[in-house]
Amino acid sequence: MDRELTKAPNRFEPQLVPGSKEPTATSVRPERVDVAVIGAGQAGLAIGHFLGRQGRRFVILEAADAVGTAWRSRWDSLVLFTPRRFDALPGLEFPGDPDGYPTRDEVIAYLEQYQAAFDLPIAFNSAVRSLTTADDTFRIELDDRQVVADQVVVATGPFHQPRIPEVAAQLAPEVFQLHSAGYRRPGDVPGGRVLIVGGGNSGFQIAKELSASHAVELAVGSRQTPLPQRVLGRDLFWWLTKLGVLTKTVESRIGRRARDRDTLIGSSPRELKRRHGVTLRSRALRASGRTITFADGSEQEFDAVIWATGYRPDHSWIHIPVLHTESGPRHRRGVTDVPGLYFLGLSWQHTRGSALLGWVKDDAEFIATEIDAAAPAHAAAATTDRPQPVAPHAPPAAGTTERPNS
């Protein structure tokens, strides 16, 4: 299907916040926007597309110097397990063979192309240090300035701080240790026997790659259901889409069962052992020196350990009462109890696809609709406090009809 590109406004003309002074050599006036989006990954870009279509004055705040930071931190040979036909953000097809599987570098290039195509207003090198509320607005503190917004979308994704088990501290200093977040290529791992801890997709994929040059063992704490990449000549995600599995919500019976279970796609313990010669181990329980003891009582010395043990959320910079202690924000499809505050790109935010490249657009469009509905109320509340900003030119109407990928 053909789609024409519609660029978002990228000049948001910050307004002076009431009560603040004009900028001097030692002060910078706060920037005032309708919506601030925190994070320029796939979720932030997707919501930016919809905000641009609404003609909102918005800014996307990104801590790094480029889009797609999470993808840039993955290993060099990473290949997605979703075909290109299912990897597009709203309004721009993913280039290449629709039935092929894109590499990490292709995804990064696509995100860069997406930002340029829609001229999204991204402020790079803008790490958010705190998010608070005051006077019915949100105050976002950066290192060198403050942004004031009527509404905020936290689009920092589900992967924040690497999760490393306590057993790591029991290993001798000479044992090379690395979280999968820091793994790039086999040449970075010292020779010898390598243990990969973690039986998810990352652990299996890294084990396959390292097995060509290292003696590799994989410790799996809990068994996962392996699914083939292709079924009856079709990609797995073609079937999942056709059968409506990816649109099952977190409240559904399938969603409740699946939300806390990772699924292996295109990998299996049998294939890993037979084709790649990887030794499978049970859960790693404790360590002493270079030796790791496993749940079945077996022991083995290792020269290197890679922890493919996932991530934990880090929203410590959000000083608004919307967070659970461990499980992240309280929300319903990204909408919190605090008016004007939203989350986007979380795992199982609404469906299995909420955190996936090609499906985040569904939640992004929903959140954009919520923002649009709330905007009149914010505008009315602000009328007596500040001059109303002049909205940038709205995107041209021609060619903006859009249908979701299928």
Could you tell me the two tokens for 354? 């909420």
Please report the pLDDT score of residue 160 as a whole number.
Answer: 80
- Work out the percent of the chain whose per-residue pLDDT is above 90: 63
pLDDT digits (tens, 9 = 90+) for 250-305: 777 776 776 677 777 888 899 999 999 999 999 999 999 999 999 999 999 999 99
Q: What is the pLDDT of residue 4?
A: 39
pLDDT at 312 > cutoff 60? yes
Which pLDDT score, from 0 to 100, does residue 53 have? Answer: 95
Of the given ranges (104-113, 114-123, 289-298, 352-361), which has the lowest mean pLDDT? 352-361
pLDDT at 127: 96
**Mean pLDDT of the chain, nearest integer:** 85
Q: Domains in the chain, start-ordered, CATH in brackets?
A: 31-160+313-382 (3.50.50.60), 163-225+261-307 (3.50.50.60)
Give residue 75's pLDDT. 94
Q: Which of 164-168, 301-305, 378-382 has the lowest mean pLDDT?
A: 378-382
**Is pLDDT above 60 for 141?**
yes
331-342 tens-digit pLDDT: 899 999 999 999
